[in-house]
Amino acid sequence: MDRRTTIKLLSLSAASAAIVGGEQLVIRRPKHAPAPPAFALDQAGYLPGIQKVATVPADQAGKPFELLDTATGETVFRGDVGPAMHDECSGDRVALANYSAFQIPGRYRLATSDGQSGSFPVGADAWREPLRQAMRGYYGQRCGCAVDLGGGYRHPACHLSGAYHPTSGRSGDVPSHGGWHDAGDYGRYIVNSGISVGTLLWAWELFPQALRGLNLNIPESGGNLPDFLAEVRWNLEWMLSLQDADGGVWHKQTSERFCAFIMPQDDTMVSYIIGTGSPPYKSTCATADLASAAAIAARCYSAYDPVFAQRCLAAARRAWSWALAHPDVMFDNPPGIGTGSYADRDGRDEILWASGELWRTTGESAYRDAFLAQAVALPAESYVWAPSWPEVAPLGYWTVVMSGRPGSEAVRGRVLAKTAQGAEYLMQRARQSGYGQTLGPLDYIWGSNGVAANQSLLMMIADHFQSNPEAREAALGNLHYILGRNCFGVSWVTQVGYNAFQHPHHRPSAADGIAAPWPGLMSGGPNAASVTGAVLHEAPMRAWADEQAAYWMNEICINWNAALVFLLAGANAWALAA
Ligand code: 9MR
Ligand code: 9MR
Ligand code: ZN
């Protein structure tokens, strides 16, 4: 309340104010309806053989456009902009400039009577560097490690000691074991770590050709593990350290409240291992999510570090047993704790996923039986959809189908059908969207860019099960949307593209004295479900502002970046196969 933050939300037409988390936010509504940007296109570029479509304002409809070679200024392609259309999610009147027929590698600008776009590449390696950046973003999130990304983006090791909070059922100090800072805050949360690690390791399993040789320039580079697996291990080690002797896993390790916008080494609040406050202290969702992540890790690391892989498998087994014995221990912030809660009301999908991953890894009947029992309660027909941190059932179903284990036929047909149907539904949205993306109006929730990337993940899994070129294009459509083909003409990944967003809700980016934000981090994106509770907008895609204070629409987060890495890994794998 002592601090006033003014947020410009361009779609609004009058002023409204609200108290948010102790701050007064004044939302100013401009007098004029917003206009689409002159050029909305993928600023990271395109592979030569894919669809290449830019969105331009409707007054360009029917007019000529050109592609210009950036170096020479010469026209390399001419076309006519298509008819005017309405885009539901932004409220914009737009038209499409389609240059898919142009396939010659190089750097270009799009030109219309409105001027010229920024320069973007066409080439097989267009998304190589964005993939590296997005994955290197995790190195920047490391806790308990001196980090140096170059360019001044660095900090000494932070949060090196920890303690058991009384809610954990234990007391005393405890070493703090690495992990990734969750987001713009310095907390570490098992539930969010579980889906993040799971998504990243699935990318490793599905698109190894794009990830094996990835050079992340991290402290472990040149060691026994490929860089990608070394980075993921940094977080796995912390996750494993939150497992209690009885197999249960504490929900999170954070301070009691969020610190100010300071560098991590300057945050001297105690990093507590926090529990539910009463026996059994650990939570079902955290424990089952660790079981899933560690069961996948057992597969991924076995070829490089069998000892670590076995440690992961043993931890996964113990966590799974605990979760089955305590299927209903839901976490909520205990009194006095104000950091993120990742409070989920339903642990059944987490148990389904953990059972599926352990069945896939081991082939053992106990895991099979638990999976099949849980699949009755959570039928594939209702639960196979884009995953998110509280909704992991689709991961359970997909992993079982991918396993091909005897017994998986029980669900295979229904999972394939529901996945294909979901992909078809999303492809239909992409066809109707003026920005070629698959979010519907109701998908504009906290982290909608993560939702978009996870809808791509669904379509990529559909394509994996049954080759589907249109599903691939629609998956890439969301990548184009995230990287600039949206109603702001902004790239939502820091330091990727000629007009990347600048002000993430990210403490190191704010506190380091460097103007540009830390690289490789994706904005949460438009959030129409405003935290103020007020109806703030007419068009959900416009519920975003590049404002550091706007944590509900401009924070970054490890699970959103994981879905982005998955999408970029697939895109790069397809480029290599073309
Ligand atoms: O920085 C915090 C961010 O990571 C969380 O997602 C968000 C919601 O829990 O809260 C942010 O912290 C704000 C706090 O809730 C209220 N005071 C201002 C803090 C920084 O903007
Ligand atoms: O991503 C989370 C979103 O789904 C929730 O609606 C929101 C409020 O509970 O919390 C988000 O997660 C935040 C976490 O609580 C704290 N670290 C930052 C996360 C991203 O904003
Ligand atoms: Zn830290």
**Does ligand 2 come within 6 angstroms of the Cβ of 391?**
no
Measured CA to CA, the distance from residue 33 to residue 93 in angstroms comes to 11
Q: Could you tell me the CA-to-CA distances from 410 to 352, 400, 466 in Å, in that order? A: 15, 10, 18
Q: What is the pLDDT of residue 15?
A: 41
Q: Is 555 in the pocket of ligand 1 (CB under 6 A)?
A: yes
Nearest CA to ligand 2 atom 18: 183
> What's the whole-number mean pLDDT along residues 504-528?
97
Is a pLDDT exceeding 60 seen at residue 67?
yes
CB 558 near ligand 2, within 6 Å: no
Q: How far is the CA of 176 from the centre of ligand 3 (A)?
A: 9
| 184 C-beta closer than 6 A to ligand 1 | yes
Q: For residue 9, name the pLDDT band (cuts at 50, 70, 90).
A: very low
Q: Residues 200, 566: contact at Cβ < 8 Å?
A: yes
Query: In order of start, what are the domains of the chain with their CATH numbers?
Result: 39-126 (2.60.40.10), 128-483+553-577 (1.50.10.10)
- What's the whole-number mean pLDDT along residues 234-243? 98
pLDDT digits (tens, 9 = 90+) for 102-140: 999 999 999 999 999 999 999 999 999 999 999 999 999
pLDDT of residue 475: 98
**Average pLDDT in the 184-204 region?**
98
| pLDDT (mean) for 363-385 | 97
- Residues 169-174 have a mean pLDDT of 98
Which residue has better confidence, 17 or 289?
A: 289
Give residue 340 CA to ligand 2 midpoint distance, Å: 6
* pLDDT band of 528, cuts 50, 70, 90: confident
Q: What is the pLDDT of residue 278?
A: 98
Of all ligands present, the nearest one to the C-alpha of 259 is 1
Q: What is the pTM of this model?
A: 0.95
At 27, the pLDDT band (50, 70, 90 cuts) reads very low
CB of 99 shorter than 6 A to ligand 1: no
Task: Give bridge partners of residue 555 from the DSSP assignment.
Answer: 505
Residues contacting 224, CB < 8 A, separation 6+: 304, 305
The whole-number pLDDT of residue 30 equals 45
**Cis peptide leading into residue 280 (ω within 30°):** yes
Which residue's CA lies nearest to atom 14 of ligand 2? 340
Q: Determine whether the shortest distance from the Cβ of 340 to ligand 1 is under 6 A.
A: yes
Question: CA-to-CA distance for 403 and 356, rounded, in angstroms?
Answer: 9
* Sign of the CA dihedral running 99, 116, 65, 475: positive
Name which of 117, 94, 130 is nearest 487 in CA terms.
Answer: 94
| Structural contact between residues 457 and 386, judged by C-beta atoms closer than 8 angstroms | yes
- Minimum CA distance residue for ligand 1 atom 9: 340
Closest ligand 2 atom number to CA of residue 552: 21
The answer to whether residue 24 scores a pLDDT higher than 60 is no
How does the average pLDDT of the chain come out, rounded?
94
Give distance in angstroms: CA of 21 to centre of ligand 1. Answer: 7
Give the phi and the psi of residue 95 in degrees, each rounded to 5: -150, 165
Centre of ligand 1 to C-alpha 258, Å, is 7
Q: Is the pLDDT of residue 23 over 60?
A: no
What tens digit of pLDDT does each residue of 433-491 get?
A: 999 999 999 999 999 999 999 999 999 999 999 999 999 999 999 999 999 999 999 99
- What pLDDT, in 10s, does the model give residues 322-356? 999 999 999 999 999 999 999 999 999 999 999 99
Q: Check if the beta carbon of residue 343 is closer than 8 Å to that of residue 331.
A: yes
Banded pLDDT at 34 (limits 50, 70, 90): confident
Burial of residue 379 (number of CB atoms within 10 Å: 0-12, 13-18, 19+) = middle
Q: Is the CB of 555 under 6 A from ligand 2?
A: yes
